[in-house]
Every structure is written in C-alpha cells, then in structure tokens.
C-alpha cells in the first residue's frame, strides 16, 4: 500500500528537534470548533521547540466531511496532518490516504497501551481489533448530557416532581427517566419564560440524527451485525429491541423538544441551552468547557451526566478523532515530529487544561483528574461505555442511508420504526454487496 512506502526511514529520522531537519510550514486540518482554537494555542510550544511553523485549515462541522474527504480522495496536498473523524479510519487506511504509524510508534516509544482502549479502537485501528494503527488518539469525545442544575434545585419543582413521579428531580439513571424529566419541563414557565424539555440531535444533512438516535438504539438492543459476521444485519439492525429504541427516540422528539427543532445538531443544541430554552441538552462532551465558562449557564448552574441506560444495555455514541499523517504530504517527516510531540505526557496534560480532551491514560487516570473540572468524572463515566458507528471505507454511504431513514421516521413521521430499520438493512446490505463483503 502506498501509505507504507519508506515509513521506516521516515520513522527513524523523525526524532523531535532532530538536528539538520529543514524547517517546514505544516498545515493541520480539522473541524472549526472550540477545541481547534485550543490546539492552535497548544501548538505554539511545538513551533518553539521544533523550528517548524503551523498553519491550520478549520472547516465548520456541517461541511467538514465533504470538504476534507474530497481533499483526501483527490490526493490533495493541502493537509500535512489530518484530525479526521473516527469513521474515516477505514477509508484512510484502505485508500492509502493515511500513513501507517506502527513503525514510527515503535521507533519512538509510543505505545497504544498508554491510551484509553476505546479511543485506540475507535480512532486508530484498521481493521478493528487488530494492531494496525493509522492515527494517534487526539481528542476523546462522547455524547453526554448537560442539565440546568439550578432549575433542578428549585424547591417548588422538586416537590412537584416528587409528587408526580415518586422520585427526586435528579439526573436520570435510565432513558425512561430522562423522558419523564423532559416531559416535566416541556412548556413550563421558569423565571417568566416558557421553557422546553430537551435539545436533541435531529439534523438531516450530515450526521446529526444518527449521532443522536444511536444513544437510544444501542441501549434498547440495536447491533450493527452478528457477532460471528459483522455484515450479517438481519435481526440485529432491525431487531425488536432496535425498533423499540427508535420508537423511544421519536417519542422523545415528539414530547420534549422545542418548536422548530427538526434540524438541530451541535451548535443549535448549544444555543438553545445557553439561551435558557431547555432543561436538558444532548451534545458531545467538547461543549462542556464552554458551558462552564458561559455567564448564563456556567458557574455551578449546570450539571453533567452520562447517557442513561436502557432496558438492554448502557452505551453512549463515541465521538472524537485521531490525528494522522496524510500520505500526500511533502512534509511527512515534520508531520511525524508533530505526532511525537503531541503524544508526550506533559503536552497531553496541557491539552486537557486548555479544553482539549486527552485520551492518554496518564492524564485521565491521574488521581486528581476526576475533580479537575465539574465535568471530568462524567467524561470518564461516558468514555467507559462508548460504541461507534461503522468505520468501513464506504461509511459515507452507510451514514447517508441511516440519516435518511431515521429522519423520515423520527422527524417527518413517515412510516413505522420497523419499516425504517428494515429499509436500513436493505440499503446497508446493498452497500456491502457492492463492496464484495457479502
């Protein structure tokens, strides 16, 4: 494969700050979001120590996949380093977009055993479950929940909720309890303003509703395929439990979301929460530093909890990304220096302090980590229950089909959950047949 050509020589020559290494202007490509701004700040240390300069190409999330996958598929040389989404690793490996990093890791003492196992599987491995690495875990992320702790603590609301549901108004342990809380707040007046239950993912155009609905599907019994054959979908993708999970997500959308929330993803959920529209917010963990810093909802007004359990399991949708060296880069040696620099424990600790989510065990297993931020323990709890979407080279086709089928049922109210998932099995089976995997 093209990605592996000459790698040993590159690995041996790429010690950070190697004498005689020509200064390079590296371009790192990622999504345009708060963690990217933190990485710009962090990378100043690399520039000082290496003599290289860093440029950045950040693309808003709704356009990120189209823009960057087009760049990779065309063999473009814009990006030396790519923090690509977790689902891209199969394509990056099989199409030769990413350099295989095994030899480099071995030559420079970088061990994948030093990282959270779920992030290694999710961000670095292809094929999954094999020691073949195409990225270094860069940003651990997972779907979790934010709630208006100040509203939950109002005595009059606590008393009313206790009387109605027979339990305290507190972070939910189950998805059904979450729906009860959403129902309780829906249309309620708080501080002279009408509020709603929950902001959840419903976006149709990229990946939003898929990244939302899976948090219910997984916990009701949905599986991507048979344990014996991952491409055997019938009875797993459309199992009775999976149908029940999809029905749950539609019920949550129907009962508990604000008007006009039919196409919401990360930014819309953030806006709704920070502006005081909702009691609960589904979103990736990356938003939590911004919540804490917000004058309206920070400073103790918000709390955090992991995605609640369902009747058939307890999982949360994995987010996050690994950092890869693009095989078309003319600055591969300098790009590998960046990987080696980024992997250092002192840099990973600083990454966490700036608002980045380190996947290094030495950071997250530090005795002081869980209390280092109000959301740190929730991050640990959430990363312990992650499950991810397909990372197949044809993941984009798999995703488009799921977006279409799920959105039509949940938001547009077309057909039944069984019909939606049966259709998904048909579409996905066709994709894998075209790929020669069935």
The CATH number of residue 306's host domain is 3.40.190.10
Burial class (CB in 10 A: 0-12, 13-18, 19+), 295: exposed
Residues 274, 268: Cα–Cα separation, whole Å: 10
Q: How far is CA 73 from CA 88, 94, 206, 426, in A?
A: 12, 12, 18, 27
Residue 82 lies in a domain: yes
Residue 392: what pLDDT?
96
Residues 98, 73: Cα–Cα separation, whole Å: 11
Residues 127, 369: Cα–Cα separation, whole Å: 32
Residue 344: what pLDDT?
98
SS3 assignment, position 421: helix
- Claim to verify: residue 132 and residue 195 sit in the same structural domain: no
- Claim to verify: residue 150 and residue 289 sit in the same structural domain: yes
Domain endpoint, select from 380, 405, 422: 380
Residues 198, 201: Cα–Cα separation, whole Å: 10
- Claim to verify: residue 97 and residue 171 sit in the same structural domain: no
Both ends of the chain: CA-CA distance in Å? 24
- Claim to verify: residue 38 and residue 126 sit in the same structural domain: yes
Going by their DSSP bridges, the two strands 302-306 and 316-325 should be labelled as: unpaired
- pTM (2 decimals)? 0.94
Residue 405 lies in a domain: no
Residues 150, 158: Cα–Cα separation, whole Å: 11
- Say how many C-beta atoms besides its own lie within 10 A of residue 95's C-beta: 18
Q: Are 331 and 94 in contact (CB under 8 A)?
A: no
Range of the domain at 284: 143-317
SS3 assignment, position 185: helix
- Specify which residues 196 forms β-bridges with: 278
- Claim to verify: residue 201 and residue 59 sit in the same structural domain: no
Torsion angle of the four alpha carbons 217, 145, 128, 67, in this order, in degrees rounded to the nearest 10: 100
- Claim to verify: residue 151 and residue 169 sit in the same structural domain: yes
Give the number of domains in the chain: 2
- Claim to verify: residue 97 and residue 164 sit in the same structural domain: no
Residue 389 lies in a domain: no
Going by their DSSP bridges, the two strands 316-325 and 81-85 should be labelled as: antiparallel
Residue 21: what pLDDT?
58
Residue 218 lies in a domain: yes
Residue 234: what pLDDT?
98
Nearest to 282 by CA among 300, 260, 256: 256
Residues 8, 107: Cα–Cα separation, whole Å: 8
Chain-centre distance for alpha carbon 212: 11
Residues 333, 14: Cα–Cα separation, whole Å: 6
Residues 180, 409: Cα–Cα separation, whole Å: 22
Residue 7: what pLDDT?
40
Residues 145, 279: Cα–Cα separation, whole Å: 10
- Claim to verify: residue 313 and residue 369 sit in the same structural domain: no
With a cut of 70, which residues of the chain have pLDDT below it?
Answer: 1-21
Residues 128, 303: Cα–Cα separation, whole Å: 34
């Amino acid at each position: 494969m093209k990605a592996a050509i000459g790698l040993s020589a590159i690995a041996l020559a790429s010690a950070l700050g190697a004498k005689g290494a020509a200064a390079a202007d590296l371009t790192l490509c990622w999504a345009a979001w708060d963690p990217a701004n933190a990485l710009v700040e962090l990378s100043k240390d690399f520039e000082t120590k290496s003599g290289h300069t860093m440029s950045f190409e950040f693309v808003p999330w709704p356009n990120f996949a189209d823009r960057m996958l087009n760049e990779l598929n065309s063999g473009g040389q814009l990006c030396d380093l790519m923090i690509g989404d977790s689902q891209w690793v199969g394509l990056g490996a099989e199409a030769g977009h990413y350099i295989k990093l095994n030899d480099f890791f071995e030559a420079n003492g970088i061990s994948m055993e030093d990282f959270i196992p779920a992030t290694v599987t999710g961000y670095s491995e292809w094929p999954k479950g094999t020691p073949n690495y195409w990225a270094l875990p860069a940003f651990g992320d997972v779907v979790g929940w934010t709630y208006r702790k100040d509203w939950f603590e109002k005595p009059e609301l606590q008393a009313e909720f206790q009387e109605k549901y027979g339990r305290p108004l507190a972070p939910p342990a189950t998805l059904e309890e979450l729906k009860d809380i959403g129902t309780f707040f829906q249309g309620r007046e708080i501080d002279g303003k009408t509020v709603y239950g929950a902001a959840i993912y419903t976006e149709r155009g990229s990946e939003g509703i898929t990244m939302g609905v899976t948090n219910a599907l997984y916990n009701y019994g949905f599986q991507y395929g048979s344990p014996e054959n991952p491409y055997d979908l019938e009875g797993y993708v459309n199992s009775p439990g999976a149908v029940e999970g999809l029905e749950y997500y539609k019920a949550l959308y129907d009962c508990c979301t604000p008007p006009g929330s039919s196409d919401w993803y990360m930014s819309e959920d953030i806006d709704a929460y920070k502006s005081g529209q909702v009691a609960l917010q589904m979103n990736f963990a990356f938003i939590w530093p911004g919540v804490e810093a917000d004058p309206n909802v920070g400073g103790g007004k918000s709390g955090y909890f992991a995605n609640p359990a369902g009747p058939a399991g307890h999982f949360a949708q994995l987010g996050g990304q690994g950092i890869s060296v693009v095989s078309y880069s003319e600055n591969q040696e300098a790009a590998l220096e960046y990987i080696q620099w980024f992997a250092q424990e002192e840099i990973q600790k600083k990454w966490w302090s700036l608002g980045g989510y380190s996947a290094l065990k030495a950071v997250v297993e530090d005795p002081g980590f869980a209390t280092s931020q109000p959301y740190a323990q929730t991050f640990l709890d959430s990363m312990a229950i992650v499950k991810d979407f397909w990372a197949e080279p044809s993941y984009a086709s798999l995703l488009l089909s799921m977006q279409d089928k799920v959105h039509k049922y949940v938001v547009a109210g077309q057909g039944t959950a069984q019909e939606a998932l049966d259709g998904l099995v048909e579409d996905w089976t066709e994709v894998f047949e075209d790929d020669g995997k069935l």
